[in-house]
Chains A and B, each alone.
Chain A
Amino acid sequence: MRRNVRPAPLERSSRRHGEAGQNLVEFALGITVFLTLLIGLVDLARAAFLFNGVSEAAREIARVTSVHPGSTSLGSSTETANAVAAERALVPGLSVTSYTCLDLDGSTVTGTCQPGDWVKVSVQTSFEPILPLLTAFGPISFSTASSAKIQ
């Protein structure tokens, strides 16, 4: 079969090259759109996973802090530190922005956080899209908070 290709007349050969070029252009255009959609989907899924992870991390850290508030300040217990480390393994770049002690009505408690008060844990991480179109928007910050009643 291949032997037939080489001795082909000039006019047929040029037509063949033209078709091959057209295929290449179609393929190139197609693959660009396709890859953009594919990587966009990957980014969307990563963002969804990260957002779920950040929400879960806030809840988990709040749950642990509610039973181990720490003797010096909220969030100072080793159990809270361990929970933060465990969540960081799941959510890259996770950091706890604040531990706040709230009253039942949502106002901030200034003194010691007593059982019956609520601890509000705020966490954040940044999401870096891998799609070149979106990298221009830079890292996007995801932050959430969760509250739990001090036991």
Chain B
Amino acid sequence: MTAVRPSRRLGEGQILVVFVLAMVTIIGMVGLALDGGATYAQRRDQQTAADLAALAGANDYLLSNNSTQAIDRARTLAAANDFTQGASSTAVNVTIDTSNGVEVVVGIDSPHRNSFLGALGMATWPVTTTATALAGFPDTAFGAGPFIFPISAFNDDGTPKYQTPTDFNETNGDIPTSQTDIAWTNYGTGNLNTTDVDAIIKGETTINATMTYGEYIGQQNSGNHNTLFQDVNDYLSGLDLPVAVVDAGGNFMGWASFHVISATAGSDKHINGYFLSSFTGDRLTISTCAAGACPRYLGTYVLKLIN
């Protein structure tokens, strides 16, 4: 009897060691899969919350021009998505930079509480996400069309009056004279250079213009512009273009997005198209126009994530 005991003890000892090693491995690996997966899931939710909070903050600033209120709005949105500032070690940092449009940066720090890996000394994993949203009214356009539209084509609340196909005529004025009137421009001064206008229409010249609010941009329009109308029809039909908008005195008020359907030359010269209420592609950008200082009644604004 006594002779058997040493070998049994040896076996028991081995099993214990193997069992402990196995438990550590099992907890570690199950923890890696489950806690790792849950951390990735949290990171995804947290990124979405940061994105939405940044957009909400930027949109609020665009409307209210009030940074305290915009920061509150961003935090409210983050809280609605389960990341509440101050709750369970969560920090929602919101900063607003208004030097170039309005940029709202939302950073969320919220540790993931590990369920399995806590047993191995890793109680939490840090999860940090950031999002930056940009909002504002554009003052720079890339690939702008060679027409000026009047601000009377827009309602007081900023929405365009013409969002369905409409004929816009030309009365040969330096600036648009009625709400469905256009004036040609080659983005220069003095007399209109129709050759330059034609080059813009054909895509040989690309306009990349930054305008100052209130700058006079009317040019002397006269003569028969049959070729221009014909070329608009041939080259620009179906395209969305940034177009300049001026007040009754021909002063620059902002950019709008215009969709060209067709153009007709001859005795009844007109361009048929409509305004888009939203920002067109990446061709309108904010460079110096701060929110609150820019005109806010043109219907075209930028609100997007930039980081």
Contacts and interface: CB of A to CB of B under 8 A. Distances in A.
Interface residues of B, number: 29
Contacts of A31: 18
Given A2-B6, A34-B22, A115-B281, 20 more contacts: A4-B2, A20-B7, A23-B7, A27-B14, A31-B18, A34-B18, A38-B26, A41-B25, A41-B26, A41-B30, A42-B25, A46-B32, A46-B33, A52-B37, A53-B36, A53-B40, A56-B43, A59-B44, A66-B305, A114-B281
Contacts, number: 74
Contacts of A115: 281-282, 304
A45 B11 contact: no
A52 B11 contact: no
20 contacts: A1-B2, A1-B5, A1-B6, A4-B3, A20-B7, A27-B11, A27-B14, A34-B18, A41-B26, A41-B30, A45-B30, A45-B32, A46-B32, A53-B36, A53-B40, A56-B43, A63-B47, A67-B307, A79-B307, A151-B305
Given A67-B307, A116-B281, A38 B3 contact: no
Contacts of B248: none
Nearest to A42: B29
A53 B37 CA distance: 8
Interface of A: 1-2, 4-5, 8, 12, 16, 19-20, 23, 27, 31, 34, 38, 41-42, 44-46, 48-49, 52-53, 55-56, 59, 63, 66-68, 79, 114-116, 151
B16 interface: no
Contacts of B32: 45-46, 49
A46 B29 contact: yes
Nearest to A116: B281
Most chain B CB atoms below 10 A, which of A27, A34, A45 = A45
Interface in B258-307: 281-282, 304-307
B306 A49 contact: no
A5 B304 CA distance: 84
- Shortest beta-carbon contacts, A-B, top 10: A45-B29, A45-B33, A48-B33, A151-B304, A56-B40, A52-B37, A114-B281, A151-B305, A42-B29, A49-B36
A56 B2 CA distance: 60
A38 B3 CA distance: 33
B4 interface: yes
Interface in B77-103: none
Given A53-B40, A56-B44, A114-B281, A19 B4 contact: yes
Contacts of B307: 67-68, 79
A5 B6 CA distance: 10
Contacts of A5: 2-3, 6
